[in-house]
Structures are given as structure tokens and as C-alpha cells.
Amino acid sequence: MRSYLTTPIYYVNGPPHLGHAFTCVAADILARQRRRLGIETWFSTGCDEHGQKNAQAAAAMGLDPQAYLDVRSAEFRALFDRLHVRHDVFVRTSSPTHVARVQEAVTRLHRKGLLHRKGYEGYYCAGCEQFKTPSDLSADGHCRDHPNLVAAPVREDNYFLVIEPYRAAILERLRSDPDFIRPQSFRAELLGLLQEPLEDLCISRPARRVPLGVRLPFDAGYVVYVWFDALLNYLGNVNWPEDGHEAWWAGAEHIIGKDILKTHGVYWPAMLLALGEPLPKALLVHSHWTGEGGLKMSKSLGNVVDPNAIIDALGADSLRWFFARHMRAEADSAISVEMIRQSHAAELANKLGNLHSRLLKFTHATLEGRVPPRGDLTLTDQALRAMVLAAARSWAAPMNLEDIPARTAAVLDAVQHLNRYVTDAAPWSLAKSPATKARCDTVVHVALDALRLVFEALWPVIPASAERALASLGAVEETAAWLPQLDRLRGGAPLGAFPILFPRTG
Ligand code: MSP
């Protein structure tokens, strides 16, 4: 079975922020974990470049829209590169290939007679890029997610897709397939959204009001509604409508924030059913990062965490690590620069980095920089090895978003045991007497090999540091699918250069 992982494609009305960094890193962890087990994996991300708010942002900077989109999307790409996010596709909805696919999709729906033109009256929240009913808004016209914007009254003709006929099929999928949406708590929310009849989905915007978009091929006075346009990237990124996309599409899992559950759990399945395409394999939903104390991050509160600034100060892996270790799929989690600094210092520098540097320094100084030979194992050695192997093995089992923090924590736990093992066994004392030198060799061998396994397990989370650490341990690069195993360091093998993995800062 192939695996196709997608992230949302991000609005480019501002520079990339922490939430965008997180979703891409989470997807990258899953993609790396799957690829190295030998699962064929395709990973797409990109930028959502149409619609009102992108147009407004370009105008505010006095730039031609396309020039603005080029600059901004390059910023997103650059951030993901800095974070070592290895996507296979970076889609831009302004690209001619994407535009052609969207036009193909609307043409098909039009030919099937599924699109109707009619008058519409309502309110539009440019923040959500969605029409709102009065019941969605507060008394003074604000939507829940954008309290600083007033939803504007709009009255215009548009094209609509009738989606109520698909509600039963979506409900049926939700009920019959417990894995369609994870974690389970979001299933109830989606079931709730599907209890009432669905209003027709407005799929167009008049081009004179919203010029930034894909023209409707059958009515040049309109562009395609930005969400309709953006959702289609998921099919397009595996080459729909061309042959061969089906095998990838069957393995499609959409990673999304809880803010976009309705568009992905109601509108997207309805669009697919209207097009005659199968539903994706799953929706993997995550909650949000908030500022300290659960407050929304905002410039005025001064609690915004800028991913680029964190990478400058601590390195990409420290941010990736924080995400993996401290995320929660089901509930919001707080994040702050201070919390990331603390996690870098306490978890990475003091535990993992310290263990690595203690062992390496000692081996270089006392054991000629070679993996020492291994003698008989004591019960303590065996227990330690079993614990590290179990933590590493969890990274070879099928894995989803919600599994990331616990599996990361399990390896960190193993690191703590390993630290204690080395401290208790005190190889530096054992090395002093010829009578205990063999035991010293065994302890160091066991510890180096366990540390190798730790870094192999953590590679999807902290790839750059893990690769440097593995090189320093003289670990042999495996070419076949990863299998967590003990005893992969050969006695007598030389260790590599000795990097400081997680420098202590300030
Ligand atoms: N363009 C639409 C998505 C179209 S997908 C066909 C959009 N873009 S967005 O720029 O607003 O990004 C939304 C996604 O960014 C969220 O679903 C979530 O994955 C991520 N995050 C944005 N803010 C976030 C947090 N504060 N915390 C975690 N992730 C968040 O919606």
C-alpha cells in the first residue's frame, strides 16, 4: 500500500508562522518514518495563493499580486527547507498546471449539470474565506476565529454545487470506518456537522470583486472559490486526472488543523463524490499551539513564536523536537520561546547531548577512539538493552499524528535509563584497573550501541542531529528498510569526528 501524506496549503497573506512550521514538521516526521520502513510515500505541501486575503495583502504592500505571491511563497519554501522538511511536491495554486486541473474539475461538474447559478445574499468573512450565516456571527458581525474582522454583507449571483445528496454517503463512511478521522474526538464533531441538511456550496466569486483566482472556463465573469480551488490540490498533486493517480489517491491522508475540519470533512468529500472520485483514506487532525496561558498568539500580546528566529537561535532540530515531544493532537498546547529553550536545554542538551558527549569523549580519550569489544552481558546490561530496543521498535510500528509525542517520550525515557546506566557503571573508574578493564569495555560497547539505536529511532524527529551523531558513532549506513536491532556496532570499529550536537545557549 502506498502512503500519500498532505498538509494544508498555506495562505500567503503574511510570512510563514509557527502553525505552518508545525504542520509541515509533523507531516515530515510521518513521511520519514514511513519511507525508511520501505513504504512508498508521497508528501505534498504548498501555498494557497488565491482569494481575497492574499489580494488584500499584495495591495497593502503596493505589489503586483503575482510578484507578491512569488516573494511570499519563496519564504514558505525557505522555511520548510531550513526545517529539513522533505516534501515531494510544493504546489502553488497560481501555477499553470494547478490552474488547468481546477478548470478541468469545474468543467466536469458543469458538464454533469451539477452547477447552478443563483442569487446569494449573506456575509463574507475574509479571514475564513467563507460565507457566514447570521447564526455564525456575533451580534456585531464578527466570526469566532476572526474577532478583528467584520464579516461584510454580500449580494451577488454565483455558481453553486448542491451537496446535500452526498451527506448520507459521508455519514456512512464516518460510521463504518473508525479510522477515517483521527483522533476519535474529532469524529464526534464531524458527525455533529453532518446532522443537519447541507446548504448548497458556493463554488464561484465574481471576478470583478475577487480578481485573484482561477477563471471559470464556462463563464469568464467568475473565478473559482478559493477553497474549492485549494482543496483540489490534493488530487492534482498525484497527477489527477491522469492515469496512475489512483494508487496514490487510495493512500491519501490529509493532515489538518482542527480549524479546517468542516472544509475537509464536509465540503471536500462532497466535492469528490460529485466528481465521482473516491474519498481519501483518512483525515489526521491536530489541535493548535497557543501562546502561554492558552492565549492566542498575537503581535499585540507579544507572545508570537517566530520559527525562523528559533532556528537561528537553537537550530531546526530543537524546534522539531519541541513539536514532536510536546504536541497534543486532541487538545491545544502552549508554546513560547522560553518553553522551547527549556526543552532544548533540559531534554536535548542535558540528556541526549550530554550522554553522547560523555561517552564519545571518554572513548576517544581512554579507548583509542574505537568501539571496545564486548564481553558477557550482566542482567543489568540486558535489561537496559531490552528497554532501549522496545522504545526504538515503537518507531517501526504503524504510526499516526497522535502517536508522535508518546513515542518520542519513550525514547527520551530510554535515554534517561542509559544515562543512569553509564553513571552507575562508571566506566571511567573501571578503566583504571586491569582487573576491570574488560567490564569497562563491555559497558561502553553496550552504551554506544544503545545510543546508536536511540539516534536511529529519533532520526525522523531530529534528522540532521541524528545523522551527525550516527556518523560520530561510526554506525554503518543501512540501505535496506530500517529494522531496529541491537549489536550493529562492531568491536574495534573507529568512531568518527566528535560534534557538539545541541550546544548550550545563554
Ligand atoms: N489555505 C487554507 C488551507 C487550504 S488546504 C486545501 C488555510 N491556510 S492557513 O494558512 O490558514 O493554514 C492553516 C493550517 O495551518 C491549519 O490547519 C494548521 O494545520 C496550521 N496552523 C495554523 N495555526 C496554527 C496553530 N496556532 N497551531 C497549529 N497549527 C496551526 O487554512
Q: What is the pLDDT of residues 132-160, one digit of tens each?
A: 888 888 888 888 888 888 888 889 999 99
pLDDT greater than 80 at residue 339: yes
Position 170, amino acid:
I
pLDDT of residue 482: 96
Question: Closest Cα partner for 289 from 254, 227, 332?
Answer: 332
CA nearest ligand 1 atom 16, residue: 257
80 close to ligand 1 (CB < 6 Angstrom): no
CA 10–ligand 1 middle distance (angstroms): 6
414 close to ligand 1 (CB < 6 Angstrom): no
229 close to ligand 1 (CB < 6 Angstrom): no
pLDDT of residue 504: 81
pLDDT of residue 127: 84
Same fold: 2-286 with 337-472: no
Cis peptide before 134 (omega within 30 of 0): no
| Residue whose grid cell is 571511567 | 428
Gyration radius (Cα) of the chain, Å:
26
**In the CATH hierarchy, which fold is given to the domain comprising 2-286?**
Rossmann fold (3.40.50)
CA 186–ligand 1 middle distance (angstroms): 16
Hey, which CATH number is domain 337-472, 1.10.730.10, 1.10.10.60, 3.20.190.10, 3.90.1570.10? Answer: 1.10.730.10
22 close to ligand 1 (CB < 6 Angstrom): yes
Q: What is the pLDDT of residues 13-47, one digit of tens each?
A: 999 999 999 999 999 999 999 999 999 999 999 99
pLDDT of residue 292: 82
Q: Is the pTM above the cut of 0.85?
A: yes
Candidate from 73-77, 206-210, 456-460 with smallest mean pLDDT: 206-210
The distance of Cα 392 from the centroid of its chain, to the nearest Å, equals: 21
pLDDT of residue 353: 97
Angle in degrees, CA 436, 440, 443, rounded to 5: 135
CA nearest ligand 1 atom 18, residue: 257
| Residue whose grid cell is 474565506 | 129
- Domain residue ranges of the chain, discontinuous segments joined by +: 2-286, 337-472
Query: Percent of the chain at pLDDT above 90?
Result: 87
Q: Which atom of ligand 1 is nearest to the CA of 297?
A: 26
Q: Which of 112, 146, 361, 432 is catalytic?
A: 146
How many other C-beta atoms are found inside a 10 Å radius of the C-beta of residue 182? Answer: 21
- Split at pLDDT 50, 70, 90, the class of 266 is very high
CA distance 2 to 37: 12
**320-342 b/e with 16+ CB inside 10 Å = b?**
bbbbbbbbebeeebebbbeebbe
Q: What is the pLDDT of residues 274-330, one digit of tens each?
A: 999 999 999 999 999 999 878 888 777 788 899 999 999 999 999 999 999 999 989
Site to probe by mutation for ligand 1, drawn from 11, 30, 129, 332 as the one with most ligand atoms within 8 Å of Cβ, is 11
pLDDT of residue 506: 60
- Split at pLDDT 50, 70, 90, the class of 234 is very high
Diameter of the chain measured on Cα atoms? 92
Torsions phi, psi of 82, nearest 5? -60, -30
The distance of Cα 339 from the centroid of its chain, to the nearest Å, equals: 20
Question: SS3 sequence, 454-493?
Answer: HHHHHCCCCHHHHHHHHHHCCCCCCCCCCCCCCCCCCCCC
CA 434–ligand 1 middle distance (angstroms): 61
Per the annotation, the verdict on 98 as an active-site residue is no
Q: What is the pLDDT of residues 436-484, one digit of tens each?
A: 999 999 999 999 999 999 999 999 999 999 999 999 999 987 778 999 9
Report the mean per-residue pLDDT for the chain.
Answer: 95
